[in-house]
Amino acid sequence: MVTGTNGTTTNGDHKTGTFKVKTGLAQMLKGGVIMDVVNAEQAKIAEEAGAVAVMALEKIPSDIRKSGGVCRMTDPKLIKEIQAAVSIPVMAKVRIGHFVEAQVLQSINVDFIDESEVLTNADDEYHIDKNTFSIPFVCGSRDLGEAMRRVNEGAAMIRSKGEAGTGNVVHAVKHARAINSQIKKLQSMSDEEISDYAKEQRVPLELVQKIQKEQKLPVVLFAAGGIATPADAALMMQLGMDGVFVGSGIFKSTNPSKMARAIVQATTNYQDPHVIADVSTDLGDAMPGLNDKGLDERWAVKEYGPGVKGHVSTKIN
Amino acid sequence: MGDRKTITIGVLALQGAFREHIESILRLSPDYPEYTINAVEVRRASQLDQIDGLIIPGGESTAMSVISNMSQMHKNFYKDQDLNVLQGISSSYLKSKKPVWGTCAGAILLSRDIENMNREYMSEGKKLLGQMNMTISRNYFGSQAQSFEKDIEVHIDGADKSYPGVFIRAPAIMNTDSDVQVLATLQFKDKNVIVAAQQEHMLATVFHPELTEDLTFHKHFIDMIVK
């Protein structure tokens, strides 16, 4: 058995942790809804509502916003309880740059790690070198450059950042549109411009060329950050996202089970307004929601250090 | 080229890797010059009449079964036959003996007996398809950290060949009745498990041919339709 530095373990021709199996799991989640849950009971509700995976958290983002303290990885005990309760994949979050939290989650067989701006940053300069892990990572992005830097570090899935915990879909829409339009823009760029763009974004030229040619990211792209209703989920799907993450939107609504089912149905039938109308009917109250003016902190800007503009490969400042 | 026959392959599109199957099928189109090959996404039972073959893709089997059951919520808008696409597959499509192929989650839905599945998704009224005479065990190889790639030996179309298997939180087929033909097995921790099988018009693979460049299984499936 040979364990490589790239997260791949080879035993004869039996290979684990390859990029194909990491991105492959993300492919299987497409068209689905991934739900934030804080205990085994919520995880069961999510599974029964048709979630394709759950994100195990100690607090959902809207409560993290209220708490104000340092937010860290979830207690492994809680994650294990959730793993025992459901048979769908279980994801969990680590702080940006906190590779030891990631080692811990890998050791307890979490299926996917979210290196997340929703938690407090652990490293102001570097993201985790995700290529060295055998389980897949999802990372948030606001634009194509950020998405490419995360993919280059080994992310197997990208999600829009949006603004988690707000119930306000505006930032998720902005990020989804930015990524899509920047991919389209590559089409009209000359070889020279592509080369300059790769340098400016500090990513390998081959990655930009591949995206230019295939007109899509080399990994699955989900929507996240502020999705609170079935119509929000369908909106993100119609904007070309492969699936959606829903955080506070479900368990902060008045009828979580009904809301969860409705969002799943709207995601599957995103092009069918009749279904979306049907599932949106008599749903009870969606989560209260928070407008930009009420935000103490913008999580989406977390790739940058304070007051510093511009992009640096795996560095944040 | 005047009288080319058209065949339409439906891919169940409730959730999962359905687009990759459509792309793989369409890539084989030049191999069948006498046919026009279509591949379409299937979400409703009423579409099942219009297809000649059905692929049930990889994804989450519990999610697919729940999503299909929930379509009963929309009876205001759709005819009775549209209520539940999995029920439609089970009650009419499979009885017509038209070919069906399940990959990973799809293989779970096709199996008669399922190990390691929450009973709630198998109780009456929430039935999976259950028509291949075999026992399948969900997440047999472990969680995502144990997902793997491995070249496997497959016995298909009268020949033995090596095939690039991609196993993602994959199930394994533990045993089959005598009417099920075993197409591939795999040695895993001292146990020989079945990873591909066929029973007449029904094909099951626990790995993901739609994630590889090798189109052997997609070709085999089209052959099941055109023969």
By the 8 A CB rule, do A250 and A41 touch?
no
* pLDDT for residue B83: 61
* pLDDT for residue A294: 67
Report the distance separating Cα A96 and Cα B180, nearest Å. 50
What confidence tier does B2 reach under pLDDT thresholds 50, 70, 90?
low
Is A252 a known active-site residue?
Answer: no
Q: Is the dihedral of CA A125, A141, A86, A43 positive or negative?
A: positive
Give residue ranges of A with CB < 8 Å to any B CB. Answer: 13-18, 20-21, 24-25, 27-32, 47-53, 87-89, 106, 109-112, 134-136, 261, 264-265, 268-269, 274-275, 278-279
In the block, tokens 């209520």 appear at B83
Nearest Cα residue to A33 out of A277, A264, A314: A264
Contacts of A2 in chain B (CB under 8 A): none
* pLDDT for residue A70: 86
b/e per residue A102-119 (b: at least 16 CB within 10 A): bebbbeebbbbbbbbbbb
Region B77-103: mean pLDDT is 80
What confidence tier does B78 reach under pLDDT thresholds 50, 70, 90?
low
* pLDDT for residue A76: 97
Report the distance separating Cα B65 and Cα B109, nearest Å. 8
Contacts of B14 in chain A (CB under 8 A): 31, 268
Region A63-82: mean pLDDT is 90
Report percent pLDDT > 90 for chain B.
Answer: 70
Q: Each residue of A142-166: pLDDT tens digit? A: 999 999 999 999 999 999 999 888 8
Interface test mutation site (partner B, options A14, A23, A263, max chain B beta carbons within 10 A): A14
* Contact between chains at B148 and A87 (C-beta distance less than 8 A): no
* pLDDT for residue A84: 95
Catalytic residue among A93, A174, A252, A302: A93
Angle of CA points A207, A209, A215, to nearest 5°: 95
Supply φ then ψ for residue B80, to 5 degrees: -50, -40
Q: Is residue B79 scored above 60 in pLDDT? A: no
* Contact between chains at B144 and A51 (C-beta distance less than 8 A): no
* C-alpha distance from B147 to closest chain A C-alpha (Å): 6
B169 is an annotated ligand-binding site residue: yes
Lowest mean pLDDT among A238-247, A283-292, B38-47, B130-139: A283-292
Q: Is residue A253 scored above 80 in pLDDT? A: yes
Instruction: Quote the mean pLDDT of chain B.
Output: 89
Instruction: Quote the mean pLDDT of chain A.
Output: 90
3-state secondary structure of B46: helix
What confidence tier does A190 reach under pLDDT thresholds 50, 70, 90?
very high
Contacts of A53 in chain B (CB under 8 A): 60
* pLDDT for residue A316: 37
Report the distance separating Cα B66 and Cα A87, nearest Å. 14
* pLDDT for residue A305: 39
Nearest Cα residue to A292 out of A165, A115, A108: A165
* pLDDT for residue A33: 98
Radius of gyration of chain B (CA): 17
* C-alpha distance from A316 to closest chain B C-alpha (Å): 29
Contacts of A108 in chain B (CB under 8 A): none
Report the distance separating Cα A80 and Cα A90, nearest Å. 9
Q: Each residue of B171-223: pLDDT tens digit? A: 999 999 999 999 999 999 889 999 999 999 999 999 999 999 999 999 999 99
* Contact between chains at B148 and A49 (C-beta distance less than 8 A): no
- Considering only residues A129 and A248, tell me which one the structure prediction assigns the higher pLDDT: A129
CB pairs A-B closer than 8 Å: 138
By the 8 A CB rule, do A267 and A244 touch?
yes
What confidence tier does A101 reach under pLDDT thresholds 50, 70, 90?
very high
- Considering only residues A306 and B75, tell me which one the structure prediction assigns the higher pLDDT: B75
Interface test mutation site (partner A, options B14, B78, B148, B153, max chain A beta carbons within 10 A): B148
Q: Assign 3-class secondary structure to A75-113.
A: CHHHHHHHHHHCCCCEEEEEECCCHHHHHHHHHCCCCEE
Supply φ then ψ for residue A109, to 5 degrees: 65, 35
Q: Is residue B40 scored above 70 in pLDDT? A: yes
Measured N-to-C along each axis, helices A144-152 and A170-186 cross at an angle, to the nearest 10 degrees, of: 80
Environment class of A310 (CB within 10 Å of its CB; exposed 0-12, middle 13-18, buried 19+) = exposed
Q: Is residue A138 scored above 60 in pLDDT? A: yes
Q: Which amino acid is at A3?
A: T
Q: B117 Cβ partners below 8 Å, 6+ apart? A: A87, B61, B62, B108, B138
Measured N-to-C along each axis, helices A40-48 and A76-85 cross at an angle, to the nearest 10 degrees, of: 40
Lowest mean pLDDT among A200-204, B51-55, B69-73, B128-132: B69-73
* pLDDT for residue B76: 54
Report the distance separating Cα B54 and Cα B64, nearest Å. 15
Q: A162 Cβ partners below 8 Å, 6+ apart? A: A169, A171, A172, A175, A223, A224, A225, A226, A227, A300
* pLDDT for residue B151: 95
Q: Using CB atoms, which residue from B60, B67, B105 is nearest to A268?
A: B67
Environment class of B137 (CB within 10 Å of its CB; exposed 0-12, middle 13-18, buried 19+) = buried
- Considering only residues A13 and A171, tell me which one the structure prediction assigns the higher pLDDT: A171
Q: Each residue of A286-296: pLDDT tens digit? A: 777 777 766 76
Report the distance separating Cα A105 and Cα A275, nearest Å. 38
Q: A44 Cβ partners below 8 Å, 6+ apart? A: A85, A86
What confidence tier does B74 reach under pLDDT thresholds 50, 70, 90?
low
B7 is an annotated ligand-binding site residue: no
Report the distance separating Cα A249 and Cα A64, nearest Å. 14
Task: Give B106-170 as a DSSP string.
Answer: HHHHHEEEEES--GGGTSTTS-----EEEEEETTTT-SGGG-EEEEEEEEETTEEEEEEEEESS-
Report the distance separating Cα B131 and Cα B145, nearest Å. 31
By the 8 A CB rule, do A123 and A145 touch?
no
* Catalytic residue numbers of B, as ranges: 104, 208, 210
Report percent pLDDT > 70 for chain A.
Answer: 93
What confidence tier does B111 reach under pLDDT thresholds 50, 70, 90?
very high
Q: Each residue of A1-46: pLDDT tens digit? A: 676 667 888 888 899 999 999 999 999 999 999 999 999 999 999 9
Report the distance separating Cα A80 and Cα A289, nearest Å. 31
* Contact between chains at A265 and B73 (C-beta distance less than 8 A): yes
Q: Each residue of B114-156: pLDDT tens digit? A: 988 766 665 444 557 889 999 999 999 999 999 999 999 999 9
Contacts of A111 in chain B (CB under 8 A): 143-145, 169
Lowest mean pLDDT among A24-28, A203-207, A310-314: A310-314
Q: Using CB atoms, which residue from B60, B120, B166 is nearest to A24?
A: B166
Report the distance separating Cα A244 and Cα A210, nearest Å. 25
